[in-house]
Amino acid sequence: MNETIKTILYNWMEKKLPEIIPRDINLEPYITTTPRKIIVITGFRRVGKTYLLFGLVEKLLKNKTKEELVYINFDDERIPEQTSFLTDLLPTIKQTLTKKTSYLFLDEIQDMPQWNKWLRRIYDSEEINIFITGSSSKVSSHEIPTELRGRCLEIQVFPLSFNEFLKFKNINIKIKQLPYEENQEATILKSLDEYLYYGGMPEVVLAPESLKFDILQQYYGTVVRKDIIERFNIKNEEGLKAMIRLLLNSKQYSISKLYDTMKSLQYQIGKTTILNYLNYVETSYFLYSIPIFSYKIKDQMQYPRKHYFIDTGFINCLSTRHTKDMGRLYENIVAINLLRTQTQKGNNIFYWKDQRGKEVDFVIKDEIQVKQLIQVCSDIENYDTRKREINALIKASDHLKCKDLLIITNDFHDTQKVKGKTIAFKPLYSWLLEK
C-alpha cells in the first residue's frame, strides 16, 4: 500500500496544473477559518469542484511548495477502496515528503470505507487544513456523519452562472451598464440561447458544438450508474431510468401520478420504491425539487413538487420532445440560479398555488417572512398569458403580504403599477447578470 501512495505522491509533485479559468467562487477566504473547519465542496459531477481546488493550489503555491499541498483524487483506479489506504496515507506522506504538509485536498473521498472516522481522527490530531469534495450528498450538510458534525463547512458548486459562462466564452460585458448597447444586447441574447440550450457544465461550454450533447449523455450515464444504481444497489434499473425520463418530460410530479404512469407503461414498481428513487436522484445533485408554499408541513408533503434539473443541457439532450420548451428552460435556469444564490443566504424556495389554480413560480422566504414573489414568462407579449401571470402574482401578494413582485421575461424591461402594486419586469439575461 505504501508504494501505491508514494507513486501517487510523486505523480502529484510532477503534475502540471491545468489552465484555470477563474470562477465567481472564491475559496481564499476559507484557507484559514476560526475555529478551524474541514471545507466540504459538494455538487454534481463535473461542475468544476476539482478545478476550484486546483485554482486554490495555484494561489497557495505563490508562498508554499508542492510538498506542503497534497492532492489525492480518490477516483484514481490505483487506489483500492480499503480502510488501510487511508490509515497508511498520512504516515507515508510524512515519510516521503521533506516538508510538513499543511494542506490536504481530498477529491471524491466519499466512497472510501470509514472515510468519516479517519477524517475526524486527522482533524483532531493534526494541524492540517483539509478540503474535500464529493459528488454525493454523503458529504453534504444534510447527510454528514455524526463524527463530523460541527467540524465541516459546506460550499455547494453549481454549473456556470451566466456571468461565468460569458467569461468562459471570452465575451466581455459591462454588467452595470444598463440598458445595453444594441450590438452588446445582440451578443448577450445569442449567448443566452446557447446557455439555455447546452447549459453551463464547464467542459460542455468549452467543447465544440458537435460534441456537447455526447459529453452530456456521458455525464448522465456516469451519474445514473455510479451515483445512483451502484451506490444504492438498485435492481430495477429500467424502472429507475423510465422514471427519470418521465421527469425529464414534465414540470412537476406527485408520487401517485408517477406510480399510475409507470404502471400504465407496464413497470412493476411500488409507490415507496418511487419515493426512494426520487430521493436517490436528488442525492446525486442531478435533480432538485421545490415544495408548495404552506405553513402546514402536511401540505408541503402531500402536494405535488415542482422539479428542476441541475442543467438545462440535460433537458434538451435527454428529453423526447422535438421542440424547445422555452418556458420550461427559462424556469429551470431561474430555479438553479435561485438555489445558487438564495440558499447561501439561508432563504427557502417554494412555489405557490391557490385552490383555483392560480400559480406563482417562486416564493422566496427567510425564517420570518416571504421576501419576494417571482413569475417566469418567456412570452409576456401574449395578452392572455400576461393577464394570467399578473393576476396570480397579485393574488399571491395579497395572500402572502409580499410587496416585492418580479416577472422575468424574454426581453421586456419595465416597472408597472397594477391594482396599487408595483411589478418589476426584467429580461432573463438582465436578471441573471445582476445576480
The predicted-structure confidence for 341-351, as pLDDT tens digits, reads as follows 988 788 999 99
Burial (Cβ within 10 Å: 0-12, 13-18, ≥19) of residue 421? middle
> Residue 345 belongs to what H/E stretch?
none
pLDDT in tens, 185-205: 888 999 999 999 999 999 999
Note whether 168 and 205 are within 8 A (CB): yes
> Residue 256 belongs to what H/E stretch?
helix 255-264
pLDDT in tens, 391-415: 999 999 999 999 999 999 998 889 9
Closest CA to 47 of 194, 216, 188: 216
Note whether 115 and 23 are within 8 A (CB): no
pLDDT in tens, 212-239: 999 999 999 999 999 999 999 999 999 9
pLDDT in tens, 358-390: 999 999 999 889 999 999 998 888 888 899 999
**CA distances (Å), 399 to each of 263, 294, 348, in order?**
38, 11, 18
Note whether 133 and 163 are within 8 A (CB): no
Q: How many CA atoms lie within 13 A of 79 on its CB side?
A: 23
**Which residues, in sequence order, are bridge partners of residue 130?**
104
Same CATH topology for 2-157 and 182-434: the answer is no
Locate the domains of the chain by residue range: 2-157, 182-434
The pLDDT of residue 295 is: 83
**Is 297 a residue whose pLDDT tops 90?**
no
In this structure, the dihedral spanned by the alpha carbons of residues 263, 268, 272 and 274, taken in order and rounded to 10 degrees, is -70
Mean pLDDT, the chain, whole residue set: 91
What integer is the mean pLDDT of 265-287? Answer: 94
Q: Give the pLDDT band of residue 313 (cuts 50, 70, 90).
A: very high
Kindly state the percentage of the chain with pLDDT values over 70.
97
Look up residue 80 and give its three cell numbers: 483500492
The pLDDT of residue 380 is: 85
Question: Residue 12: CB partners within 8 Å, gap ≥ 6?
Answer: 66, 70, 71, 72
The pLDDT of residue 148 is: 87
Closest CA to 309 of 279, 286, 343: 286
**Is 322 a residue whose pLDDT tops 70?**
no
pLDDT in tens, 42-59: 999 999 999 999 999 999
Q: Rounded to whole angstroms, how far apart are CA atoms 74 and 263?
A: 40
Strand 287-290 to 305-309 pairing: antiparallel
**Is 176 a residue whose pLDDT tops 70?**
no
**Is 435 a residue whose pLDDT tops 70?**
no
**Is 325 a residue whose pLDDT tops 90?**
no
* Assigned fold of 2-157: Rossmann fold (3.40.50)
| Cα end-to-end span (Å), the chain | 48
**DSSP annotation string for 286-319:** SEEEEPBP-S-HHHHHHSPEEEEES-HHHHHHH-
pLDDT in tens, 101-148: 999 999 999 989 999 999 999 999 999 999 999 988 778 877 887 888
**Is 76 a residue whose pLDDT tops 90?**
yes
**Is 323 a residue whose pLDDT tops 80?**
no
Question: Residue 69: CB partners within 8 Å, gap ≥ 6?
Answer: 57, 60, 61, 101, 102, 103, 105
Q: What is the largest CA-CA distance in the chain?
A: 74
What integer is the mean pLDDT of 59-69? Answer: 94
In this structure, the dihedral spanned by the alpha carbons of residues 289, 295, 297 and 300, taken in order and rounded to 10 degrees, is -30
Domain at 182-434: CATH architecture: Orthogonal Bundle (1.10)
The pLDDT of residue 178 is: 53
